[in-house]
Structure 1
Amino acid sequence: MSDAAAVIDDLREESGELDELVRGLRDEQWAAPTPAPGWTVAHQIAHLIWTDEVALLAATDPEGFGPEVRKALDAPDTFVDVAARAIVDETPPQALLARWRAGRERMQEVLRSAPAGTRIPWYGPPMSVPSMATARLMETWAHGQDIADALGVTRAPTARLRHVARIGTRARDYAYTVRGLPVPEEEFRVELHVPDGGSIAYGPQDAAQRVTGPLLDFCLLVTRRAHRDDLAVRATGPDADRWLDIAQAFAGPPGAGRASRAEGPGAPGAGPAPRAGGR
């Protein structure tokens, strides 16, 4: 479980950083709109609450998790929004924060104590404990980005972003499949520059098609929190270039994505990013 423990440690740190960002907010700041249409800062935290609690249910009561999957099948495009709105409607901001803290701590404890080889049922294929923890970290970071954007805060990138990049790279084929596009036969090489001057890489070193750029920019791209035109991510090869238009690190409908700065927030068909994960 050493791999899982390391990811869970990073998830705890990522959650703690977001906690620091929201713990002192006034009520009107909790109600501030974020780039997701109709979602306030409170809705973003409510979504994290809901996903943590559903992940805990899946890990501790697989049979009880079954009805949650049926809810998703019955309303695939709205069930996440409905859940987040219900939590916000019934929970004032400070209680919302307390509920998020309690839920994420319990969920992390259960993941940390799970036996090696555990598979957790989810909305797609069952997930290993490291994969579930990585998905929770990715989602925490992505929703934290929405909150930071709403509050006008610039967050410093951390080494934890390597988990987000790994999911984004592994989800390459899904990005094509969810759009009904043929999946490229050849693998891509992804080389990303990290803040300390090093780099991380995925895929064959001799791959003809390549993606390069800063780690932060790639993570913003694959969580659809920024438009590719505003990022320093570059592609070599037609398939790799197409991927930069459709990449997503989360399951579910891709959404329209963010508008570029040149297009502006009101550009047709260029809405904010969908909620990461949760599907």
Structure 2
Amino acid sequence: MLDYGLDLSAVEHELALPDLEAEGAELDALVSARTDWSTDTPAAGWTIAHQIAHLASADANALIAIRTPEAFAAVLKQTEAAGPRHADLDAAAGAAKPRAELLAQWRAGRTELAAALRGLPLDHAFPWFGSRLTPALMVPLRLMETWAHGQDIFDTLDVSRRPANRLRHVACLGVLGRELSFHAAGLPIPAAPFRVELTGPDGRLWAWGPEDAAQGIQGSALDFCLRVTHRRPLAETDLTAIGGDAQKWLEIARVFL
């Protein structure tokens, strides 16, 4: 989970609903063509069905938070009661449903969520896990999670996918997650600014931070996104660190707790 206290002024937060919808549609096309969702994915104990169930559940929770924020307290209480195993138990419950029912639930939920987000002002706040969110952050968060869990499924099925420029939203969250990464690792948060330069899927440079920063990261946007979502170990990426703090960041990078 992201530290939702991050400075949102750094987020390039145009309401990227078309990108979120495209991410869901791409994964839908992959899984709907498969009748067997029982194959294990890289996430321990999770099959393809578990991955889709998790996405469907998160979309449903987001709808509760937006439509009936007073009812979201019950979601938080249930999550706290289940403890660390909540995500596993929740995914297992969804995965036990017939494939057609789960697919229909996921489709309906993400369509309803997109419609709900589209109708909200960018700064409209609603409750979430550990803090409050706005559509400006919820959209890239849902895109990031859809992409990351989708990557598990693409890897499972040994299907390659061409990276799209909508990865920029995931990369932005990764950059914003620097302080979270150090905090989660129990390490002091570096005070000096960082420079991040990533090559997007179309060959363009995506950059954050001052050009003269002593600490920096360079490489492909795809590999950066795979790293911060824990879909690839650092050794399997082309990422390069400039400075000791930047190297440590790559080793502990994350966008969720």
| TM-score range normalised by the length of the shorter chain | over 0.9
Task: Note if contact 1:58-1:121 (Cα within 8 Å) is conserved in structure 2.
Answer: yes
Corresponding position: 1:213 with 2:219: yes
Query: Deviation at 1:176?
Result: 1.1
CA deviation vs aligned residue, 1:255-275 (integer Å, no higher than 9, x gap): xxxxxxxxxxxxxxxxxxxxx
Q: What is the CA RMSD across the aligned residues, in angstroms?
A: 1.3
User: Structure 1 residues 7, 76: CA separation in 2 closer, same or farther (over 3 Å shift)?
Assistant: farther
* Helix, strand or coil at the partner of 1:121: strand
* Helix, strand or coil at the partner of 1:77: helix
AA aligned to 1:152 is D
Task: Note if contact 2:122-2:136 (Cα within 8 Å) is conserved in structure 1.
Answer: no
Structure 1 runs of 4+ with >6 Å offset: none
CA deviation vs aligned residue, 1:175-204 (integer Å, no higher than 9, x gap): 111121111111210000112221101111
Q: Distance in 2 between matches of 1:18 and 1:155?
A: 10
Q: Distance in 1 between matches of 2:172 and 2:87?
A: 24
Task: Note if contact 1:134-1:164 (Cα within 8 Å) is conserved in structure 2.
Answer: yes
* Helix, strand or coil at the partner of 2:212: coil
Q: Distance in 2 between matches of 1:116 and 1:81?
A: 32
Q: Distance in 1 between matches of 2:91 and 2:107?
A: 16
Q: Distance in 2 between matches of 1:77 and 1:130?
A: 28
Query: Taking every aligned residue pair, what percent have the same amino acid on both sides?
Result: 46
Q: Which residue of 1 aligns with 2:113?
A: 107
Q: Which residue of 2 aligns with 1:58?
A: 65
Q: Distance in 1 between matches of 2:72 and 2:208?
A: 34
User: Structure 1 residues 239, 5: CA separation in 2 closer, same or farther (over 3 Å shift)?
Assistant: closer
State which of 93, 98, 107 in structure 1 corresponds to 2:104. Answer: 98
Q: Distance in 1 between matches of 2:19 and 2:253?
A: 24
AA aligned to 2:191 is E
User: Structure 1 residues 177, 131: CA separation in 2 closer, same or farther (over 3 Å shift)?
Assistant: same
Task: Note if contact 1:171-1:249 (Cα within 8 Å) is conserved in structure 2.
Answer: yes
5+ residue gaps, structure 2, are: 1-11
CA deviation vs aligned residue, 1:223-248 (integer Å, no higher than 9, x gap): 00000001000101011000001101
Query: Deviation at 1:4?
Result: 6.4
State which of 181, 190, 200 in structure 1 corresponds to 2:187. Answer: 181
TM-score (norm 2): 0.93
User: Structure 1 residues 72, 159: CA separation in 2 closer, same or farther (over 3 Å shift)?
Assistant: same
* Helix, strand or coil at the partner of 1:201: strand
Task: Note if contact 1:4-1:129 (Cα within 8 Å) is conserved in structure 2.
Answer: no
TM-score (norm 1): 0.85
Q: Which residue of 2 aligns with 1:151?
A: 157
Q: Which has the bigger relative contact order, CA under 8 A and spacing at least 6?
A: 2
Q: Which residue of 1 aligns with 2:28?
A: 19
